[in-house]
Structure 1
Amino acid sequence: MFYAQQKLGWFFDPRRLLAYAEGQPELELASAFWYAGLRDPGDQRPFRDVLTSLGFTVRTRPLRELGGGGTGGSGGGEGEGRPQYVRANLDVEIAVDLMAVAGRTEVVWLLSGSRDLERLVEVLRARGLQVVLMSTEGMVARELRNAADRFVDLASLRPQLEKAEALQPPVFSR
């Protein structure tokens, strides 16, 4: 979703995302997960702490550089030694988490565009769950979009989801 947010030109606020989900009459929030790729274990620690305090289960994986010249890429030429992109493949974590909550809910919201999740969506639907796919036009695989019950373009939710200010950890007083 990081790249989808970059394409949109705005970032969504996790608090507002939860509030939006809780305001939907067809949705009883069973669980909320946030998946993130990290360059090192300390990356985004304050942000991840805020997510946890909001009720998200946060799953992380190290970012991996893919497609650079000289290591299995095309080799030689422009861009030698630089990665074409970085990725933290969290598809297995997403699949395991959604299968684990499948018996506790009737509707699943999936914020992704990854074609690799197409089979997961098919299995969830076969189990009787409604799958609402939320992503950005041009950044969602056609196969994934076709597998879902409904597609929601995140651009249409900007007024409800856009992050207005930096997230701060909750302040607790005694």
Structure 2
Amino acid sequence: MAFRPSRLAIFIDGNNMFYAQQKNGWFFDPRRVLNYFANRPEIELVNAYWYTGLKDPQDQRGFRDALVSLGYTVRTKMLKEFHDESNGNRYFQRANLDIEIVIDMFNTVEQYDEIVLFSGDGDFERAIELLRAKKTHITVVSTDGMIARELRNATDRYIDLNDIRSFIEKTERPEPFVSAPVIAPA
């Protein structure tokens, strides 16, 4: 019987991770994330998704283009502004992409054996439970203080960002790919 690598999909909740990275005081490099999780002979990267909210259609254009050139599928949604009178009449913006992430997870479930979800949002608990029932191995990456207990308990494996910092942290000079991850055709 021929060896078949485990098929991997990566889902990154960009807005959630932005705040986790701010909390930690360092940022990860999307290229190094792919290298860390997919650059092993027993892994076949089938897709990597990045979800982010935008202030306007041109917001983060350079960053989004760079993600696409690295092989990410980028999903966006316009930020919505909310007014909070209970908090001193402050405005805040939000683009909740949880539904888009779950839709992509379930629309592509036959393409992968395991996923890595970068998010600490407890709203993913039920989706993770259903995916595990389909024998999908789930790894959640977040950081202490930003990971919902329910999500952490629902996953097969939890990785704190700080535990893999030396492998994924953004550095001053760009790091070359050890070998470019191959996104398998659907």
Task: Please classify the TM superposition score into its range, dividing by the shorter chain length.
Answer: 0.7 to 0.9
Aligned CA distance change for structure 1 residues 87 and 56 (closer, same or farther; 3 Å): same
Aligned twin of 1:136? 143
Q: Which of 46, 53, 61 in structure 1 is aligned with 2:77?
A: 61
Aligned twin of 1:164? 171
Aligned twin of 2:62? 46
Aligned twin of 1:171? none
After TM superposition, the structure 1 = structure 2 runs for residues 94-173 of structure 1, keeping only pairs within 5 Å, are 94-165=101-172
State the SS of the aligned residue for 1:32: strand
Answer yes or no: is the 8 Å Cα contact 1:27–1:107 preserved in 2.
no
Q: Which of 81, 93, 104 in structure 2 is aligned with 1:86?
A: 93
**Distance in 1 of aligned mates of 2:117 and 2:39:** 17
Q: Which segments of 5 or more consecutive residues in structure 2 lack a partner in the other structure?
A: 1-16, 175-186
- Cα deviation for residue 166 of structure 1 reads 7.6
**Distance in 2 of aligned mates of 1:140 and 1:97:** 21
Give the partner amino acid of 2:102.
Answer: A
**Distance in 1 of aligned mates of 2:155 and 2:100:** 19
**Distance in 2 of aligned mates of 1:18 and 1:67:** 37
Aligned twin of 1:22? 38
Give the partner amino acid of 1:122.
Answer: E
Count of matched residue pairs:
158
Q: TM-score, normalised to structure 1's length?
A: 0.85
Answer yes or no: is the 8 Å Cα contact 1:30–1:101 preserved in 2.
no
Give the partner amino acid of 2:171.
Answer: A
State the SS of the aligned residue for 1:30: strand
Structure number with higher relative contact order (C-alpha < 8 Å, ≥ 6 residues apart)? 2
Higher-strand-fraction structure: 2
Q: TM-score, normalised to structure 2's length?
A: 0.80
Cα RMSD after superposing both structures = 1.6
**Distance in 2 of aligned mates of 1:19 and 1:66:** 38
**Distance in 2 of aligned mates of 1:10 and 1:137:** 14
User: Which 4+ residue blocks in structure 1 deviate beyond 3 angstroms?
Assistant: 24-27
**Distance in 1 of aligned mates of 2:26 and 2:103:** 29
State the SS of the aligned residue for 1:140: coil
Answer yes or no: is the 8 Å Cα contact 1:40–1:62 preserved in 2.
yes
The percent of aligned pairs where both chains have the same amino acid is 53
